[in-house]
Chains A and B, each alone.
Chain A
């Protein structure tokens, strides 16, 4: 059924459809409508199970991961400061191999205080061992939550579904909300380990020695690598049932491109528009959208970009003192590619500033004219600075 809903409500619909048994959450703008909608669903008995209204995001994640270790399907949602406060527990969730699913609505981190879209909050959780999926629109947010539970419960790793403040969280779009029967078919009840079975005593989280620590990390890394294939398989199966698929990465017109734009999340939609407009003018432009950030889809990106001579990475985040985080990651992924290429990072959209077609076209012109890349990022400064 098509519904005209915000991205936040699309996420809540997905959580309901997944028959999520345990939700623990704490309010933070711009995530709060997810929490409120889930509370409404609980009150109307559409969402059955247990809802813990915690006193902090840190406790929310603590409770989600312990509930997950007990064997139930667990979900939370947060943004920005809340995610930063959760940071410690994110490591626990992945270290314990719990398939917790979280929606993270990207929001600027203080200070300065602000409420706008900026991906640095979720990207700063890069090394916590969470699968990360970046969504382009409301439909993808809904679909990705459903996929996330399937993937997480298959590989026993937690998964973060990332949507941008306002552009997705609060903007309304027509969204296909799938039938419950179809979701049930795709996502059966959780079949995950029950770590606290009183007939089988065990100790989750004991102290280990150096070599044991290395072994556990190795196992977790292998699980992450294995997850790439699972993400693809699950996406393919999802497409078979629901008619929509997204892949690890998505490419448009890359084959003959002189310049490929690399984007994530909502900037992708605008880039698609610019691409069509500039292609009409005869410019050979391509576009690659990175959807999955962890595990990083190196192989998929190399197969698309190994033969491309110019790449412009446009992004809404920064690792201060370096550059946009996707740009650094992409450069690392292509380090072993044959031949030379120019990879230029453009910081556009930092702090939730508009990335409109004109701005993307300015980036295109700059990249096409450029003979070599700068070592640092190029800041696209516009109005309001």
Chain B
């Protein structure tokens, strides 16, 4: 049976970009930009996204874009958004792509400032759980026990809960999304596009090199992150209304961990600690959802 899904949407991320083969970030960029459409302005900051966008005089992205400094994706997008509004073009969405370093670490202050002002921007964090562009160093988005070049015996810190931080700003929209669930991802981009104010998307983006996985594994690993409840798909409206968008299969976390070289050194104890943390986080999420629902 042939399902008619209408005309093929325009690809904004063009072929010839400079991502590693099988890159999860490039796939996420493609999906986000395709859902956003060609009437948009894009801000990128130092990250894999900036590298993927292409060296001068080439540009892999088919919308106007600006590669600004590391820690200022949000105020940069906000400056453009406000200037477009001054010119009567507030209908043009301004989207910022930043990595987990640019979001969880060095850009957190300026992101908080923009969210506090409820700047009219869509901010997408392409989280590959470390400084992968500079060759795999730990960030505050790197999970506990993870191997990186600067945590050779495993990361001792836990992953920062960025969604809770964004929710605490009471922004209109914050959502997690995954390249393994492209329709959910596209729906979230389009929902965000229709809203105003600060909208935040958190994409877990498997990194072939940094996660020590094969080139055909990015989507599979992303899928496992959702099915093991390590990275649940949910959205938060105005910081308080929680909705889970997908009911995971509740696979054991080991199914996610065992396919990645960065977790090769984990002990059974380590894995039990991770499972307990994931279960606790899921329970917490369920409590938040329950608090949201009137019944």
Task: Spell out A's residues near B (CB within 8 Å).
Answer: 21-22, 24, 49-50, 52-56, 58-60, 62-72, 74, 88-89, 92, 194-198, 200-209, 212
- Chain A binder among B63-71, B172-180, B287-295: B63-71
* A194 to B80 CA separation, bound complex (whole angstroms): 10
Is B63 touching A201 in the complex (CB atoms < 8 A)? yes
B61 contacts across to A, CB distance below 8 A: 201, 203
Is A55 touching B83 in the complex (CB atoms < 8 A)? no
Known contacts A22-B83, A202-B59, A207-B51; 11 additional CB pairs below 8 A are A50-B82, A56-B109, A63-B82, A65-B79, A66-B76, A70-B80, A72-B86, A92-B68, A202-B65, A203-B65, A207-B67
B83 contacts across to A, CB distance below 8 A: 21-22, 50, 66-68, 70-72, 74
A203 contacts across to B, CB distance below 8 A: 53-54, 56, 59, 61, 64-67
Is B110 touching A59 in the complex (CB atoms < 8 A)? yes
B41 contacts across to A, CB distance below 8 A: 196, 198
Is A198 touching B38 in the complex (CB atoms < 8 A)? yes
- Chain A binder among B112-120, B200-208, B255-263, B270-278: B112-120
A204 contacts across to B, CB distance below 8 A: 64-67
* A337 to B243 CA separation, bound complex (whole angstroms): 75
**Contact-size category for B:** 35 or more
Is B76 touching A55 in the complex (CB atoms < 8 A)? no
Q: CB < 8 Å: which of B56, B69, B85, B112 contacts A208?
A: B56
B53 contacts across to A, CB distance below 8 A: 203, 206
Is A66 touching B68 in the complex (CB atoms < 8 A)? yes
Residue among A22, A67, A195, A203 having the largest count of chain B Cβ atoms under 10 Å: A203
* A202 to B59 CA separation, bound complex (whole angstroms): 7
Is A66 touching B77 in the complex (CB atoms < 8 A)? yes
* A298 to B92 CA separation, bound complex (whole angstroms): 47
Known: A22-B86, A206-B54. A66 touches B64 (CB 8 A): no
* A52 to B117 CA separation, bound complex (whole angstroms): 8
A196 contacts across to B, CB distance below 8 A: 41, 64, 66, 80, 84
A-B contact pairs, 16 of them (CB 8 A): A24-B75, A50-B83, A50-B86, A53-B117, A55-B113, A56-B109, A59-B110, A66-B68, A67-B82, A92-B69, A196-B41, A201-B59, A201-B64, A206-B59, A207-B55, A208-B56
Is A197 touching B64 in the complex (CB atoms < 8 A)? yes
Is B80 touching A54 in the complex (CB atoms < 8 A)? no
B116 contacts across to A, CB distance below 8 A: 55
Known: A70-B84, A197-B64. A59 touches B54 (CB 8 A): no
Q: Quick check: is B280 within 8 A (CB to CB) of the other chain?
A: no
* A58 to B74 CA separation, bound complex (whole angstroms): 12
Q: Quick check: is B87 within 8 A (CB to CB) of the other chain?
A: yes
Q: CB < 8 Å: which of B39, B59, B62, B66 contacts A66?
A: B66
Residue among B43, B75, B113 having the largest count of chain A Cβ atoms under 10 Å: B75
Residue among A53, A66, A202 having the largest count of chain B Cβ atoms under 10 Å: A66
Is A63 touching B66 in the complex (CB atoms < 8 A)? no
B58 contacts across to A, CB distance below 8 A: 206
Q: CB < 8 Å: which of B51, B62, B63, B69 contacts A62?
A: B69
Report the nearest B residue to A55, measured CB to CB.
Answer: B113
Instruction: Give B191-227 interface residues, CB cut-off 8 Å to A.
Output: none
Report the nearest B residue to A208, measured CB to CB.
Answer: B56
* A68 to B82 CA separation, bound complex (whole angstroms): 11
Q: Quick check: is B40 within 8 A (CB to CB) of the other chain?
A: yes
B113 to chain A, nearest CB (A): 3
B72 contacts across to A, CB distance below 8 A: 58-59, 62, 89
B113 contacts across to A, CB distance below 8 A: 54-56, 59
Is A55 touching B112 in the complex (CB atoms < 8 A)? yes
A176 to chain B, nearest CB (A): 30
A68 contacts across to B, CB distance below 8 A: 83
Residue among B38, B50, B86, B117 having the largest count of chain A Cβ atoms under 10 Å: B86
Is A66 touching B80 in the complex (CB atoms < 8 A)? yes
Which 9 residue pairs are nearest across A and B when measured between Cβ atoms? A55-B113, A70-B83, A66-B79, A63-B79, A205-B67, A62-B72, A203-B59, A59-B75, A67-B83
Is A195 touching B82 in the complex (CB atoms < 8 A)? no
Residue among A49, A50, A53, A208 having the largest count of chain B Cβ atoms under 10 Å: A50
B292 to chain A, nearest CB (A): 29
Q: CB < 8 Å: which of B54, B87, B109 contacts A72?
A: B87
Known: A22-B83, A55-B116, A67-B80. A202 touches B64 (CB 8 A): yes
A26 to chain B, nearest CB (A): 9
Is A198 touching B63 in the complex (CB atoms < 8 A)? yes
Q: Quick check: is B122 within 8 A (CB to CB) of the other chain?
A: no
Is B86 touching A21 in the complex (CB atoms < 8 A)? yes
* A377 to B34 CA separation, bound complex (whole angstroms): 63
* A62 to B71 CA separation, bound complex (whole angstroms): 10
* A119 to B117 CA separation, bound complex (whole angstroms): 33
Is A69 touching B80 in the complex (CB atoms < 8 A)? yes
Is A67 touching B79 in the complex (CB atoms < 8 A)? yes
Known: A65-B79, A66-B83, A203-B65. A198 touches B110 (CB 8 A): no
A198 contacts across to B, CB distance below 8 A: 38-41, 63-64, 92
Is B110 touching A55 in the complex (CB atoms < 8 A)? yes
B76 to chain A, nearest CB (A): 5
Report the nearest B residue to A21, measured CB to CB.
Answer: B86
* A44 to B121 CA separation, bound complex (whole angstroms): 27
Is A208 touching B59 in the complex (CB atoms < 8 A)? no
* A49 to B110 CA separation, bound complex (whole angstroms): 22
Report the nearest A residue to B75, measured CB to CB.
Answer: A59
A90 to chain B, nearest CB (A): 11
B75 contacts across to A, CB distance below 8 A: 24, 52, 54, 59-60, 62-63, 66
Is B56 touching A52 in the complex (CB atoms < 8 A)? no
B168 to chain A, nearest CB (A): 15
Q: Quick check: is B23 within 8 A (CB to CB) of the other chain?
A: no
A212 to chain B, nearest CB (A): 6
Q: Quick check: is B78 within 8 A (CB to CB) of the other chain?
A: yes
Known: A201-B59, A203-B54. A62 touches B76 (CB 8 A): yes
Instruction: Give B13-68 interface residues, CB cut-off 8 Å to A.
Output: 38-41, 43, 50-51, 53-59, 61-68
